[in-house]
Amino acid sequence: MSFENASIISSCSRWPLLIDPQLQGSNWIRGSQGDNLSPININQKHWMRELTKNITEGRAVLLEGIQQEIEATLDPLLSRAIVKKAGSYSLELGAEVIDYDPKFKLYLMTKLSNPHFRPEIAAQCTIINFIVTESGL
């Protein structure tokens, strides 16, 4: 199952949203991305500023602490509302327009074992379940 999940994460066109209470997916992403990954917890202070910086620099971000409701300011990013103008890319995030580097990658992660996301989230993200069950073992 973990191999299948890793394959989906590597090839999906939408941002992956990991249901990962045992941190297996998180550990794999941290190992595969190495120094290019910036883990950000949405409960920390100034997380949006850190996310914005990583988007403009084209770094990978593991956004941790996702709950059942994802902050509305992330909607343009989740729906990839990226605008190309004069050879450069931009994205309206929150109240400001920022530069967007196409090398940017986003991984969302929740530790909730049985989350109920809005249908829009399932349309914007690829939901990947890393929960290990007894029958799976």
Q: How confident is the model at residue 130 (pLDDT cuts 50, 70, 90)?
A: confident
Residue type, 95: A
The predicted pLDDT at position 137 comes to 44
How far is Cα 2 from Cα 104, in angstroms, rounded to an integer?
Answer: 24
**Residue 101's pLDDT band (boundaries 50, 70, 90)?**
very high
Residue 53, pLDDT > 90, answer yes
Please provide the DSSP assignment of 43-112 as one string. Answer: TSTTHHHHHHHHHHHT-EEEEE---SS--GGGHHHHTT-EEEETTEEEEEETTEEEE--TT-EEEEEE--
pTM for this entry = 0.86
